[in-house]
Amino acid sequence: MARKKQTPTQQKENFIQEQPITQTLEQNYMPYAMSVIVSRAIPEIDGFKPSHRKLLYTMYHMGLLRGDRTKSTNVVGQTMKLNPHGDAAIYETLVRLTEGNGALLTPFVDSKGNFGKQYSRDMAYAASRYTEVKLADICQEVFADIEKNTVDFVDNYDGSMQEPVLLPTTFPNILANPNIGIAVGMASSICSFNLAELCEATAAYIKDHTISLCDVLPAPDFSTGGQLIYNRKELEQIYSTGRGSLKLRAKYRFDEKQHCIEIFEIPYTTNIESIIDKIISLVKSGKIRDITDVRDETDLNGLKITIDVKKGTNPDLLMHKLYALTPLADSFSCNFNVLIDGHPMTLGIGGILEHWTTFRIHAIRRQLTFDIEKKSEKYHLLQGLAEILLDIDKAIAIIRNTEQEKMVVPNLMAGFSIDEVQAEYIGEMKLRNINKEYILKRTAEMQILEKEIAEYRSILENETKIRNLICRQLKSVAKKYGKPRLTEIVQEEEIATPTKEDFIEDYGVRLFLTKQNYFKKIPLISLRFAADQKLKEEDTILQEIETTNRSDILFFSNQCNVYKMHISDIADTKASAMGEYLQNLLGMDAEEKIIYMTTTVDYSGFLVFFFENGKGVKVQLSAYATKTNRRKLVNAYASRSPLIFMQKLEEDTDFVLLRNYDKATVLHTSLLPSTTTKNAAGVQLFTLKKNSMVTQVIPASGFVTDDLEYYRTQKIPTAGHFIQEKDKQNNQIPGQMEL
């Protein structure tokens, strides 16, 4: 019977099988995650990731520790026997390890050719067929005694050869070079330390675990130099926990003749292109006005970013601005995740040194055991040779009189009471060496071997002696390979911290307030070319102030509110634009309008307010200064009577107050008591009759009269003086108001 054909829906149902998500993750995702953590991204205690270790061991296996350089492509091809990845990935790994690239503080590969630069994003390295490499001299310490069973070896991916699990570095390489890796669910970011300082500090720590590492290990060091802002508290946190952040910044010099700043060292975490892009962006946006040009002048002499500046520019202040706004100042985030016996751990400097010391002790013990075994084997052979010395003729006779070759060794064993290994060694000796002189020379080595074996055993059995040996090796490495530190240490308290005001561009501006509540901020340099102001139809300029970009501005509204802003926070505009609508800029209510504006730098001076009810008040401008950056203050002035006039003054002056356009008085503001209460009602200035009011206030300089003193009052309140007809005409004062 033929099987019934399934429909597509039935086929899909049979194909899809339900499976618990936890089981799927455990079977499929977890092996991948662990592989990335253990076999790819996180460095081990020798300071290498698997890709680095495979590459360097391949070069060691090729004899590139002492031989001449070879083409990089040759190294890449040979590394594929251990690292089954593409040639591009292997070559990229090789590039980072080279001296030419500059990524490592202590590079492992001596290079020739273009390997790009750590500090450049766009400087590409040459193809592997054009470059040449060999192992750097420091690799003698990386592979020290590796042939003496100091570390374990395992089969490569196809079992055709063996590779080391770790490399027996004689110095804590894990801290000698920066190491950054991103795994699954965790990351590692280890800063580098100067090799000489690190070796000395490690030796001191091995001898005394109670020392403060900050005292013996000054600070991290980076291959790109720059300056490290030293903060003892932050450094102690990194040293103890393995987590924290380091502040780095570029180094510069100022060329007075060329009016330019030359940046010659930058933070390790950034690059030339990012810095230049950010500076150009700041100049285009108008946030920095002192820079006329910026360019990359990096050449064979090293890194150099040149910034041309305007004459009169303070280079130190400009650099402080660039430090704050660009990657010229950056941070290195530390996260010391290290693989210890296949387990990821977050360790401080002390913890890393402790594990490295344990690793190094184990390697030295294996090396000593290997040396003892080899020397003991040699000593054992020489013991047999010494037995022959007693009767050389007998040995020759035994060999000559033995008819069968296979019986030579047994006959020597029987004739001299030696074992098979010794007899085999004697039987293989050349005839010319069977003489007393040769045998005496060889047997004399037994005393040296006995002494060496005894010394090795005494070290092997005493951990203190092993630690002392490690310290001697560390000091030897520091002396032989140590170099001056590249990153300058700058104490945080020695850095002059600029104020927020210093970062604001200081240039002249003119401010315009219109009757329909439009506002303009125009740089004075722009007004030279366009004096005509564009306004909305039927709009007029209500107020105009000339000040600087570093000032604060206060907007007073008809609802007794004041709005405060930094002028630098308001965008520049042009005379041909209508400007900002204040309701949008300040977030005012729909019916609220700005009636007056004033500017200040230090909140000195005072405001005078004159009200319709004849009262006046003098409020210190400092009353409007707030510790917090509040943008709106309510009850900015008294609301009991309509406001007729207000003005900011630096010193007392005269004003003319008009009552119903029939009487006037000249009042000196010194008569007003000063207050810091913003909404104070003030004191009575003008004596008013029923239904009378103050209708106008005019600065005395704007009141045209032949006899100003006629109207002056020496005390308050005052009834004022009738306005003379001539003064009414001169000042266009209307006639008596009907009450």
Residue 656 has pLDDT above 80, yes or no: yes
What are the φ and ψ backbone dihedral angles of 122, each rounded to 5 degrees? -100, -10
The pLDDT of residue 527: 81
Residue 739 has pLDDT above 60, yes or no: no
Q: Identify the CA nearest to 335 among candidates 343, 344, 346.
A: 346
Q: Identify the CA nearest to 638 among candidates 610, 597, 671.
A: 610
Stretch 634-651: mean pLDDT: 93
Give the least confident one: 328-337, 555-564, 706-715, 725-734.
725-734
Global pTM reads 0.76
| Torsion sign, CA atoms 164, 165, 169, 170 | negative
The pLDDT of residue 428: 86
Q: Does 624 qualify as catalytic in the annotation?
A: no
Superfamily of segment(s) 36-169: Topoisomerase II, domain 5 (3.90.199.10)
> Which are the contacts of 229, defined by CB distance < 8 A and separation ≥ 6?
246, 247, 248, 249, 490, 492, 495
Tens-digit pLDDT profile for residues 417-446:
899 999 998 888 888 887 888 888 888 889
Q: Identify the CA nearest to 570 among candidates 562, 559, 581, 561.
A: 581
Tokens of 352: 């890393």
Euclidean distance between CA atoms 519 and 584, whole angstroms: 11
Q: Determine if the peptide bond prior to 8 is cis (ω within 30°).
A: no
> Which are the contacts of 80, defined by CB distance < 8 A and separation ≥ 6?
87, 90
395 touches 426 (CB < 8 A): yes
Confidence band of 34 (pLDDT split at 50, 70, 90): low
> What amino acid is encoded at 107 in this protein?
P
In CATH terms, the fold of domain 251-327 is: Gyrase A; domain 2 (3.30.1360)
Residue 3 has pLDDT above 80, yes or no: no
Confidence band of 738 (pLDDT split at 50, 70, 90): very low
Give the least confident one: 104-118, 259-273, 525-539, 701-715.
525-539
The pLDDT of residue 14: 60
Cβ-defined contacts of 207-210 (< 8 Å, 24+): 207/467, 207/471, 209/350, 209/354
Percent of the chain scoring above 70 in pLDDT: 93
Four-point Cα dihedral 54, 55, 60, 62, nearest 10: 110
Tens-digit pLDDT profile for residues 125-182:
999 999 999 999 999 999 999 999 999 999 998 999 999 999 999 999 999 999 988 8
Tens-digit pLDDT profile for residues 80-97:
999 888 899 999 999 999
Domain definitions of the chain by residue range = 36-169, 251-327, 353-481
444 touches 386 (CB < 8 A): no
Confidence band of 662 (pLDDT split at 50, 70, 90): confident
Stretch 375-403: mean pLDDT: 88
Euclidean distance between CA atoms 402 and 410, whole angstroms: 10
Tokens of 168: 């027996």
Euclidean distance between CA atoms 80 and 86, whole angstroms: 8
Residue 357 has pLDDT above 70, yes or no: yes
Mean pLDDT computed over every residue of the chain: 90
Is the domain covering 353-481 a CATH 1.10.268.10 domain?
yes
Which of 130, 252, 268, 563 is an active site residue?
130
Q: Identify the CA nearest to 587 among candidates 555, 542, 618, 552.
A: 555
Euclidean distance between CA atoms 605 and 623, whole angstroms: 11
Instruction: Write the CA distances from 724 to 705, 712, 735, integer angstroms.
Output: 9, 14, 11
Residue 12 has pLDDT above 60, yes or no: no
Euclidean distance between CA atoms 93 and 103, whole angstroms: 11
Residue 309 has pLDDT above 70, yes or no: yes
